[in-house]
A and B are shown apart, each in its own frame.
Chain A
Amino acid sequence: QSALTQPRSVSGSPGQSVTISCTGTSSDVGGYNYVSWYQQHPGKAPKLMIYDVSKRPSGVPDRFSGSKSGNTASLSISGLQAEDEADYYCCSYAVSYTWVFGGGTKLTVL
């Protein structure tokens, strides 16, 4: 149950695009299409942004998109806005009905 690997931080200016990677193994990210992404603002509960690799829940802007290739999933955010500044976590279903999260990425909007 090792954590998925995410960059510690990414940054971009308003209006720009950023991509956050999430690398696992064939036992989690690469083995299932059950990758989800969560946004967390300081002191708040996580919020679901992407599920099943690339699906967006109702109410999440289409500026947020997800994808996967092999053992690496990615979250892309286009048209950066100030309110996008937050921590982002990926998560994947793993073997034997367990779940694994990434270490988290701090997004800074410059």
Chain B
Amino acid sequence: EVQLLESGGGLAQPGGSLRLSCAVSGFTFSRYGMSWVRQAPGKGLEWVSSISGSGGSTYYADSVKGRFTISRDKSKNTVYLQMNSLRAEDTAVYYCATVGNWFDPWGQGTLVTVSS
């Protein structure tokens, strides 16, 4: 069974940092691109970042470019999202998902709250 399990969410201060993790099981991790998608409270979905199966290519939404870094560790079957210079508008549930030409499957999400 394919499973994606996010962790690392919590409360951070404006200007602070957090690192999210997404542990993957049930499929060959290195064969698939991975993405992070977020959803602010009561709002819609927003693509944040993607990384290729090899980890050699990364892509970011303009809203997080220069502040967030996506990476993956094939020895741990885990993808990460390092979030620096956090802003109040980064408050959201962050989902990881496998990406091809679509997003599937998804994890259950982890809540990030940026507030002083």
Contact = CB atoms under 8 A, between A and B. Distances in A.
Nearest to B106: A45
B17 to A, nearest CB: 24
A97 B70 CA distance: 14
A99 to B, nearest CB: 4
B109 interface: yes
Contact of B45 (A48, A98, A104): A104
Interface in B59-96: 59, 61-63, 95
Contact of B103 (A3, A46, A96, A100): A46
A101 interface: yes
A104 B24 CA distance: 27
Interface of B is mostly: strand
Contacts of A36: 101-103
A103 B63 CA distance: 16
Interface string B92-116: 0001000101111111110000000
Contacts of B28: none
Contacts of A89: 44-45
A34 to B, nearest CB: 4
A91 B44 contact: no
B54 interface: no
Contacts of B37: 46, 101
A43 B50 CA distance: 24
B44 A3 contact: yes
Contacts of B21: none
Interface of A: 1, 3, 34, 36, 38, 40, 45-48, 51-52, 57, 89, 91, 93, 96-104
Interface of B: 35, 37, 44-47, 50, 57, 59, 61-63, 95, 99, 101-109
